[in-house]
Amino acid sequence: MCIYNGNRSYLNVFEKEVTMKFGHFDDKEYEYVITNYNTPLPWINYFGQDGFFSLMSNTCGGYMFYKDAKLRRITRFRYNNVPRDYGGRYYYINDNGTIWNPGFLPMKTKLDSYMCRHGLGYTIFESEKNKLECELLCFVPLNDLCEINQLTLTNNSNETKNITLHGVVEWCLWNAVDDQTNFQRNWNIGEVEVDDTTIYHKTEYRERRDHYAFYHTNVKHDGFDSDLDTFMGLYNSWCDPSAVLNKTSYNSVASGWAPIASHMFKLEIKPGESKTIIFQTGYVENPEDKKWEKLHVINKEKAYELQNKYSNEEQVLQAFNELKKKWVNLLSTLNVKSDNPKFDRMVNIWNQYQCMVTFNMSRSASYYESGTGRGMGFRDSCQDLLGFLHLIPEKSRERIKDIASIQFEDGSTYHQYQPLTKRGNADIGGGFNDDPLWLIAATSQYIKETGDYSILNDPTPFNNKEGSEKPLIDHLRASLNYIITHKGPHGLPLIGRADWNDCLNLNCFSKTPGESFQTASNFESGKAESVFIAGMFVLYGKEFATILKNIGNDKEAADILDEVNAVEEATVKYGWDGEWFIRAYDAFSNKVGSHECEDGQIFVEPQGFCTMARIGERLGYGKKALDSVEKILTNDYGVEILHPCYKEYHLELGEVSSYPMGYKENGSVFCHNNPWIVIANTVIGNNERAFDVYRRNCPAYLEEVSEIHKTEPYIYSQTIAGRDAKNYGEAKNSWLTGTASWTMYAASQAILGIKPDYDGLMIDPHLPKEIKHAKVVRVFRGVKYNISITNNSSGKYQMTIDNKSIDGKIIPYNKDLTEVNVNITL
Ligand code: GLC
Ligand code: GLC
């Protein structure tokens, strides 16, 4: 459906007859309930918190891994499979020849009713076919390395049913890349052990691995399979596995080829009766000297322990309730009740939830990120903290140290690290010159949230080298110093491989197909500069100066501010195009993102960041820049990353010009930078526009156009095709995007204006007229603030605490209080 009418103004899709929903929000249960399995794309959910992670789609597809989606993959997933999204943990119910699955796939048998409830860390399927009801509860318990699938069948008919049930998972041979490439070896190494409740996957355990996985049931099975080809039949698929069709199992013991785990049950279920089976996929590590029970027999002690913990329904229910309780507690740290339910549900539930997932996964494992390409990004992980810190300050501290540990002494840094080893990733290397500054963003936010400056003293190594530890504050110094010592002809920061925009590769000059734009450097100009990094430097340089002042280093703070001023001046002089900020200077010092260019005349990133940094504020730059953003870049779904899209490949610009027009970095709504525009608008006091941009992008508002938008309506996606794209409005790459964190930050700190600050909690709301009342509960450094905001849009600000008028916008932190009642009128 192409709604773009050919000029730069946008049509309001929301007034068109294109709405189609596939489910609804259940805010009370914190769930999104999918009632139509034919979603436009798989709509997925995540389980797990500390080591065992799972992805599950609305058709029961997905995969599991331990800590690292590349190196420790537990179950197999084929990303570009045909059909899409086949492979998961599947339950086949054969009821008198009618074979169906609670999640619709893989059999695709039409269900009489279907519901998939994606909740926080769990998914429940509730389906029915021919008066047989199935409830399947799936989750990863809080403190254990396993996924529970509890399946209950209830016979709602008047006759006894004889059911054959198969449960099945397919093992991955651990290293997910090797698993998909090295078949000459892999088809020889698969090994399992089987008893009458459990199939153990122990490939490579005999040699260098200390871990195995298992698929267990709490009752004895009536048969099993552990060899894929036997279970399926060589030319069959998940839609017609031989064992299932024949209501049998072959008791196959895998040796090489593709090991799987399948348990079969013959169940007699009387009218009105229910039967429950608990399936468990678990992961176990053993110390070297405890690996074996005897020759070739693995030590199962820990597995038994895990199995016994979830062997009955009460245990499962208890673990499930603990998980739910944990989320309710976590989310109580920040809660808003306003007259806008969509805003509330995003802030209170889904946006925070997505922040947790991006914190855990970075950009590694989703349905779009294969978990094999990227480790944890330096820049990505720092930004992920911004939206999530209030929920888990302790974990954040550890994360900041992990990230800082891949930095080099000169302040530059590896771009990524693998979560399992925590070492910098040499394949991608470094040279992304925005990276170092994000460390200041994350650390300053940590201090503001916790008030704990001691993090600055944490001994932190460079490049993980033992003995190289320096206090974390030296890493922040190194970060700034790197920018100060790497400037180009206009006194602006050098861009290196790229800045936040991975695709603006100004020193790449790639002509070789397949060459990575991010790592290739065929012409190292030493000249290409980034106005975006200039904006970051000014913003975070000032932030660091404030920290220095707060700890009594006035002299150093003043020195830093001199450097900030120099970059600010350079930006005012060379970074302004008349109506907006320029994006960069290329390797020949030509402008990028200027009206002088043929394509790519305006980019969104510097408009957001330079306005947040208040560069050229006296001259009205921010206001002008944001007017241009509104006029030129805004469409139905938010703000496009640039305009006009590049029509041709530009050697001197790199990957940005490689994408077809309107996609990804070449002119889509790259959602990650939309919240910068929201925040920037609040900085210049344009509250209506701030909320307008927020709303355009917000998944809860896009639910009604799911047919166009396609990805999950409860979660942000990375990119929404722009007006120049053929599929305008179509989103891709849901879940793992910095959008989550930055939008959370924009909604809570800019729109609601609840800002942790060094000395207390600042409350500086920028609500649009349509939100007249908001009651916010915020727990900040252990004190509970009940904040009631009345928005008369009067332009006047008044704060009272326990009915006493207060000057200014900061509530000084007082550790002796437990609860503070604040009233704000605007
Ligand atoms: C991806 C990357 C992020 C980058 C962005 C823009 O989201 O994960 O690091 O900033 O693309 O290129
Ligand atoms: C590609 C993508 C970009 C992503 C990068 C990660 O360049 O377009 O969004 O950040 O790959 O390496």
Q: What is the pLDDT of residues 164-179, one digit of tens each?
A: 999 999 999 999 999 9
When pLDDT is cut at 50, 70 and 90, the band that residue 4 belongs to is very low
- What region does 451 belong to: left with phi over 0, alpha with psi -120 to 50, or beta? left
Helix or strand or coil: residue 760? strand
When pLDDT is cut at 50, 70 and 90, the band that residue 375 belongs to is confident
Q: What is the pLDDT of residue 10?
A: 44
Burial class (CB in 10 A: 0-12, 13-18, 19+), 467: exposed
Return contacts of 354-357, CB within 8 angstroms, 24+ apart: 354/715, 354/716, 354/735, 354/740, 355/384, 355/387, 355/388, 355/391, 355/740, 355/741, 355/744, 356/388, 356/391, 357/46, 357/735, 357/736, 357/740
Distance CA 787, CA 789 (A): 6
> Which atom in ligand 2 lies closest to the alpha carbon of residue 719?
9
Number of other residues whose CB lies within 10 A of the CB of residue 251: 15
* Residue 209 confidence (pLDDT) above 70: yes
Distance spanning both ends of the chain, measured CA to CA: 42
| Contact (CB, 8 A) for 532 and 575 | no
Strands 810-812 and 760-763: antiparallel
> Which atom in ligand 1 lies closest to the alpha carbon of residue 502?
12
* Residue 739 confidence (pLDDT) above 80: yes
| CA nearest to 371, candidates 416, 414, 407 | 416
| CA nearest to 780, candidates 817, 746, 728 | 817
Strands 669-670 and 717-720: antiparallel
Alpha helix (H) residue ranges in 346-392: 351-361, 378-386
> Is 0.85 topped by the overall pTM?
yes
Of 6-20, 349-363, 602-616, the least confident: 6-20
Give the dihedral of Cα atoms 480, 484, 487, 492; nearest 10 deg: 70
Distance CA 420, CA 51 (A): 10
Average pLDDT, the chain: 96
Residue whose Cα lies nearest atom 3 of ligand 2: it is: 502
Q: What is the pLDDT of residue 540?
A: 98
Return the DSSP state at 373: S
Residue 88 CA, chain-centre distance (Å), reads 21
H/E run at residue 201: strand 198-201
H/E run at residue 745: helix 739-745
| CA nearest to 427, candidates 528, 488, 518 | 518
518 lines ligand 2 (CB under 6 A): yes
Of 420-424, 669-673, 700-704, the least confident: 420-424
| CA nearest to 142, candidates 324, 361, 331, 395 | 324
380 lines ligand 2 (CB under 6 A): no
Of 8-17, 329-338, 590-599, the least confident: 8-17
Rounded to the nearest angstrom, the distance between the alpha carbon of 599 and the centre of ligand 1 is: 21
Average pLDDT for 667-674: 98
Single-letter residue type at 160: T
Distance CA 86, CA 367 (A): 12
Q: What is the pLDDT of residue 8?
A: 41
Q: What is the pLDDT of residue 7?
A: 41
When pLDDT is cut at 50, 70 and 90, the band that residue 50 belongs to is confident
Which ligand does the CA of 673 lie closest to?
1
Rounded to the nearest angstrom, the distance between the alpha carbon of 599 and the centre of ligand 2 is: 21
Percent of the chain predicted with pLDDT > 70: 98
Distance CA 641, CA 602 (A): 8
* Residue 19 confidence (pLDDT) above 90: no
Distance CA 327, CA 387 (A): 16
Q: What tokens were used for 504?
A: 């603006």
Burial class (CB in 10 A: 0-12, 13-18, 19+), 330: middle
Q: What is the pLDDT of residue 419?
A: 81
Of 18-22, 569-573, 729-733, 770-774, the least confident: 18-22
Q: What is the pLDDT of residue 96?
A: 96
Q: What is the pLDDT of residue 2?
A: 33
Q: What is the CA radius of gyration of the chain?
A: 28
Q: What is the pLDDT of residue 130?
A: 98
Residues with CB under 6 A from ligand 1: 363, 377, 379-380, 500-503, 665, 672, 718, 737-738
Number of other residues whose CB lies within 10 A of the CB of residue 772: 16
* Residue 536 confidence (pLDDT) above 80: yes
| Contact (CB, 8 A) for 444 and 544 | yes
Residue whose Cα lies nearest atom 10 of ligand 1: it is: 500
Distance CA 551, CA 665 (A): 41
Residue whose Cα lies nearest atom 9 of ligand 1: it is: 380
Q: 78-104: per-residue pLDDT in tens?
A: 999 999 999 999 999 999 999 999 999
Average pLDDT for 201-216: 98
Q: What is the pLDDT of residue 420?
A: 81
Among 383, 415, 518, 718, which is best to mutate for testing ligand 2, by the most ligand atoms less than 8 A from CB? 518
**62 φ/ψ angles, rounded to the nearest 5 degrees:** 125, -170
Rounded to the nearest angstrom, the distance between the alpha carbon of 568 and the centre of ligand 2 is: 29
Decide if 502 is catalytic: yes
- Count of H-run helices and E-run strands, the chain: 21, 44
Rounded to the nearest angstrom, the distance between the alpha carbon of 689 and the centre of ligand 2 is: 29
Percent of the chain predicted with pLDDT > 90: 95
Q: Which of 502, 636, 757, 764 is catalytic?
A: 502
